[in-house]
Amino acid sequence: MSVRDASSAGSDPQATMTAAVVREHGGVEVIRFETRPVPVAGPGQVRVRVRAVGLNHLDTWVRRGVPGHVFPLPLVLGSDGAGVVDAVGEGVQNCRPGDEVVIFPGTSCGVCAACVAGTDQLCREYRILGEARDGTCAGYVVVPAANVAPKPARLSFAEAGAFALVFLTAWSMLVDKAGLRAGETVLVHAGGSGVGGAAIQIARLLGATVIATAGTPEKCAQSKALGADEAIEYRTTDFADAVRKLTGKRGVDVVVEHVGAATFDRSVRSLARGGRLVTCGATTGGKVELSLHQVFFKNLAILGSTMGSKGQLWTILRLVEAGRLRPVVAKTLPLDGLRDAHRELEARTWFGKLVIEL
């Protein structure tokens, strides 16, 4: 079957799929499993038969709602994914039906100044799948052709569907925003989380010394096995005091902060003079106190970061293909286990990523 034929064959109006949808905010009970028409790939678009969907804390925020933020409900959940190209629209040249692909989680207009400069995450039309447009937690998803890349052959679909968002986030934080350099020391919060585990690996790849925090002795051990030089059990130890001891009272050069209110003040206190704190989230709350005296006396930088560019994802993809970075999959579940997966994600039960397999 030709590419054109495959695209036409994919437009059967009778074809349906199951999708995990949120129509109102609340507990896991608001996740619905709905039957929907299979979407059609238009010009410049690719339809992917989804095989695996990596879960992120973003999924739980979309489900629960965020004060002051309006999500365009109803939404199909899921930002990450991997699968097989099922149909392509007119003009698509970078893939064909049957190709195994990774789905990039952020879409943009592709033509504005930010996009052509390679900073598409700054595009005014930037949308994260499953957050501002329908996502990957469905039998099929249609995305722009620029949002698919060849799946590394060394990875299973579960692994391929579990790394894009967290590794892109951590890469942008450490490389683009914080400018982490070899020989520096970085504090990574929640080493067992997706972003934390990715940050540990990237920091080690860049030649930094890594101190991680984790909630249990087991997760501390797993953080060290992943590449952390030291791991602090934050539930029994004040991590700021521990950092002070581990660094001879100097502090760290960079803090990877995504916890928020519960850790922010101590994260700032953990910085050395000239240190950089980069934050991508606030799972324990976004209202924090900040002493400007600390900021200017110690020459600190406080940096915000959300997602990253497709160009950065291609770099990450090559490093994953080479085995220098690796996704950490803790557990896989079927689509009808999504509610249980959300409960486990919020309970922080696992080290690594939870993945839905379709």
Least confident piece of the model among 4-18, 65-79, 151-165, 288-302: 4-18
Q: Which residues, listed in sequence order, are joined to residue 312 by a DSSP beta bridge?
A: none
Q: How many CB atoms lie within 10 A of CB 249?
A: 9
The percent of residues above 90 in pLDDT, for the chain, comes to 92
Residue 9 has pLDDT above 50, yes or no: no
Q: Is the pLDDT of residue 179 over 90?
A: yes
| pLDDT given at position 12 | 64
Q: What is the pLDDT of residue 213?
A: 97
pTM of the model: 0.93
- Average pLDDT estimate for 337-349: 94
- List for the chain the helix, strand, coil content (%; round to 5): 30, 25, 40
Domain residue ranges in the chain: 3-163+327-357, 167-304
Average pLDDT over residues 123-148: 97
> Is residue 54's pLDDT more than 90?
yes
Q: What is the pLDDT of residue 285?
A: 86
Least confident of 4-13, 77-86, 167-176, 273-282: 4-13
CATH class of 167-304: alpha beta
| CA-CA-CA-CA torsion sign (36, 38, 44, 50) | positive
| Backbone phi, psi, residue 326, to 5° | -145, 140
Closest listed residue to residue 191, CA positions, set 202, 180, 183, 175: 202
> How much is the pLDDT for 7?
38
Of 6, 150, 15, nearest in space to 90 by CA: 6
- The pLDDT of residue 1 is above 50: no
In this predicted structure, what is the pLDDT of residue 11?
55
- 3-163+327-357: CATH topology: Quinone Oxidoreductase; Chain A, domain 1 (3.90.180)
| pLDDT per position as a tens digit, 235-265 | 999 999 999 999 999 999 999 999 989 999 9
